[in-house]
Amino acid sequence: MERLLVTTALEGSWDETQPMLFLGEWCRLYSRRHRWSELDVEVLPYHWDDREQFVQDRRFLKSLHEKLLVEVSEKLNEFHSTDHSSRYWRILLGPWLGYFTQTLFDRWSSVHHATRDHELSGTIVLKGLEDARVPNDMEDFFHLGNSHSWNHFLYGRILTDFADVPRLERQAAGIDHGTHYGSSTEIAQPHPPQTFNLKTSLVAACSSLSSRLMRPTDCFIHNTGLRSLREELALQRRLGQVPRLVAVESPADVPVHDRYRRWDLGGTEGAGFEPCLRSLIPEQMPTAYLEGYGALCDESDRRRWPSAPKVIFTGGSHFYDDVFKEWCAARTEEGTPLVIGQHGGHIGTAWSFDHDHQIAIADRFLSWGWSDPAEPKVVPIGMLKAPIPTASDYALKDSVLLVTSILSPHFQSFDLASRALPSQFLGYLEDQFTFVAALSPTACDSLTVRLSAYDLSWSQQCRWRHRFPEVLLDDGRRPIMDLLAETRLCIATSNGTTYLESFFLDVPTVIFWDTTRWELLESAVPYFEDLARVGVFHDTPESAASHVSAIWSDVQSWWSDDAVVDAVTKFKRRYCDDPGHVLDEMRRALLSVAREVR
């Protein structure tokens, strides 16, 4: 049977008069199930449900990224009449090139599987979508990646030039429910607006005052990932300089101009993925690296930052902050060492593109406790964003806290890691439902489920309400530290930061996830095996629920058992260590690399 290919949740691209093939689960918004559940629809199996294929493709994409980075660097040097090193361009546009390569491969693979395995009557490509555009910078690219409109646009580019599928172009009209629920505007800010604005104003005022006392060789400390501004300022005092805060600046918005897009990487002939990628890189590269590159360099030059800093340290701005990245890249070419601090969990226990990129650009990487003989750049420091311990008798609390995760409906490259992928979110969610269903009534009565504050089209609350109408839900807005202080037992369900924070605070904790989706590095396996032997780690929701039900009446006795304490303590030393004076450790590490690299 021939089916119409539907690429996203944009209902303007549907035709309910004929059978349809949905490219993935992202096409079926839960809030619109009353519409699609009545239609003749099949959903294409996700190409990376084959985990071996996923690992194989990851290796291929990593190799392709390295090859393309050299070629793109040479092209941009020629185009901008510069002579920057590959490291300069890796720092500036390496994240975008890696992310775009992986994102496009995911979209191309889905289309390829659809055309290979199904008879398609055609597809409808919508024109005039708001997000159907080239991103301005890296942060804009990140936001567009969560937009059904932008993804429909990208699928349309693949289908137009690189797939033999009949296309009907249709003008987008009115409000499309898919556009609304998947739009980039749905992505919340990291802080509530009033807090964010206050912090921004404070940073700007402090930065202006302290810049007058800045020395050219001061260490440049930016977006550290430390738990508070107070600690960031204290670190700078320990380095013997006047503390200053640096605001994150966005590049100027620059329109796309055809003159800047008339270049190619070669190898664009043929119908495979690489010709598709090579064709779209010049077309889709953010304007900050082409039309706006001169303005970006001028903007970074205008920053009142040290002209010859001893060392640059950041915990997060090396991915999305293009003004900082250009300034940082230029300083590294002059000999300034770059140090990056671990920003969250997963790093050190599992593989990811993000970590590969950090190791490639940094002179040193400050970890939360782990080290690796194969990566001499890694320096174990301790948990940089360690939560503040509070005196709390968890045995007297009466709450089980289940902390859930969220994934973007559309694959984004920072998901190219040993973790569950977006299209597998429903399987992940079903594991949470299985866990709750298997809990004893007494434990379930005390359960609070913490949802992500970012819903990203999944309708989390509705799904939970339909399955467990009596379970207490937290919408994710309260600080996690407040919830941990009120719980007797924390349940972590993904390989991230949550369980490291609860371990650090000595909150009784149980972990579970599907190990076929959340793989571990070989070096981490023995530590998780130790946790599994004492009931802390489980690889099925049923096992975790059985253990929680068994210990619920006396959690503290289990948590204080010698074997449990020993396993958790060993794990903490490795992955969320508390050296006691982490700022002093950071100071020594930063000054040490400044001496060695210079």
Q: Write out the two tokens for 117.
A: 């395995």
Q: Write out the two tokens for 312.
A: 């640059």
3-state SS class at 10: coil
What pLDDT shows up at residue 176?
Answer: 59
Statement to judge: residues 408 and 514 lie in one domain: yes
**What gap in Å lies between CA 153 and CA 283, rounded to an integer?**
13
Which alpha helices (DSSP H) does 516-561 contain, by range?
Answer: 525-533, 541-551, 555-559
Whether 309 maps to a domain, the answer reads yes
Q: 590 near 306, Cβ under 8 Å?
A: no
Please state, as a whole number, how many other Cβ atoms lie within 10 Å of the Cβ of residue 255: 10
Whether 98 maps to a domain, the answer reads no
Statement to judge: residues 213 and 332 lie in one domain: yes
Count of structural domains, the chain: 3
**What gap in Å lies between CA 67 and CA 74, rounded to an integer?**
11
Q: Write out the two tokens for 237.
A: 């005092």
Containing 194, the helix (H) or strand (E) segment is helix 193-211
Statement to judge: residues 325 and 201 lie in one domain: yes
* CATH number of the domain enclosing 419: 3.40.50.2000
What pLDDT shows up at residue 529?
Answer: 98
Statement to judge: residues 420 and 486 lie in one domain: yes
Statement to judge: residues 222 and 135 lie in one domain: no
**What gap in Å lies between CA 401 and CA 419, rounded to an integer?**
22
Whether 349 maps to a domain, the answer reads yes
**Proportion of the chain above pLDDT 90, given as a percent:** 78
Given the structure tokens 């941990």, which residue do they identify? 484
17-51: pLDDT as tens digits: 999 999 999 999 999 999 999 999 999 999 999 98
Statement to judge: residues 367 and 423 lie in one domain: no
Q: Please tell me the pTM assigned to this model.
A: 0.92
**What gap in Å lies between CA 106 and CA 411, rounded to an integer?**
7
The pLDDT-based confidence of 386 (bands split at 50, 70, 90) is confident
The pLDDT-based confidence of 195 (bands split at 50, 70, 90) is very low
**What gap in Å lies between CA 565 and CA 557, rounded to an integer?**
11
Statement to judge: residues 318 and 455 lie in one domain: no
Statement to judge: residues 508 and 590 lie in one domain: no
Question: Poorest-confidence range of 56-70, 196-210, 321-335, 576-590?
Answer: 196-210
Whether 203 maps to a domain, the answer reads yes
* pLDDT value at 409 more than 90: no
Whether 238 maps to a domain, the answer reads yes
Please state, as a whole number, how many other Cβ atoms lie within 10 Å of the Cβ of residue 510: 28
Whether 298 maps to a domain, the answer reads no
Statement to judge: residues 476 and 551 lie in one domain: yes
Q: 493 near 405, Cβ under 8 Å?
A: yes
What pLDDT shows up at residue 598?
Answer: 62
Residue 283: C-alpha distances to residues 108, 262, 304 (Å): 16, 9, 34
Statement to judge: residues 470 and 400 lie in one domain: yes
Statement to judge: residues 544 and 564 lie in one domain: yes
Q: Which one of 187, 205, 233 terminates a domain?
A: 187
DSSP track, 332-378: HHTT--EEEE--SSSBTTB-BHHHHHHHHH-SEEEESS---TT-TTE
* pLDDT value at 499 more than 70: yes
Average pLDDT on 572-594 reads 93
232 burial level (CB within 10 Å; 0-12, 13-18, 19+): buried
What pLDDT shows up at residue 211?
Answer: 63
Statement to judge: residues 425 and 403 lie in one domain: yes
167-178: pLDDT as tens digits: 999 999 765 555
In sequence order, what are the residues at sequence separation of 6 or more whose Cβ sits closer than 8 angstroms to the Cβ of residue 112?
47, 163, 273
Whether 280 maps to a domain, the answer reads no
Average pLDDT on 123-139 reads 95
Alpha-carbon torsion 264, 266, 267, 270, what sign?
positive
Q: 220 near 312, Cβ under 8 Å?
A: yes
* pLDDT value at 82 more than 90: yes
3-state SS class at 490: strand
Q: 406 near 454, Cβ under 8 Å?
A: yes
Whether 414 maps to a domain, the answer reads yes
Residue 136's domain spans which residues?
1-44+118-187
- Name which of 65, 98, 132, 92 is nearest 320 in CA terms: 92
- Name which of 106, 92, 103 is nearest 24 in CA terms: 106
What pLDDT shows up at residue 210?
Answer: 61
